[in-house]
Amino acid sequence: LQKSLNEIFGVDKYSRARKEVLTYMFSRPMQMALYFCTGVVKDETLFRHYALNVPFYTHFTSPIRRYADIIVHRLLSASLGASSPIKMEKEDIQRQADHCNDRKMASKRVQELSGDLFFSIFVRV
């Protein structure tokens, strides 16, 4: 997709802006990643990472960034025997994952609406 966009948009002074707008529009409808507890979800195809083409995938970043990352770090540490087991039932972990998903979706929606608002102000001026 990126190669096609680069080839289509020439070199005039607006080509970069057009490409950025279209790239944003193409990526906006992509499905967001969801947090879930593997002990609750029976369909292992949901564990797959489409873009990386791997059957099992867990994503996390530094645990100072997001609560979901703290949970993943603790579960991974416990599963490797580096710390004591987590005292949460899998249904409780799934409830936490659902809450993190809800907050992430709300944040994304506010970001999109903010972008739409500023774009409309920009166009109107």
Q: Which residues face 122 on adjacent strands?
A: none
What is the value of pTM for the model shown? 0.66
Residue type, 122: F
Which two three-digit tokens encode residue 101?
A: 């998903």
> pLDDT tens across 21-79, in order?
777 777 666 667 788 888 888 888 878 877 778 888 887 777 777 888 888 888 889 99
Q: Which residues face 49 on adjacent strands?
A: 54
Among the listed residues 53, 93, 49, the one whose alpha carbon sits nearest the alpha carbon of residue 70: 93
Cα–Cα distances (Å) from 76 to 17, 20, 81, 87, 105, in that order, read: 42, 38, 9, 14, 25
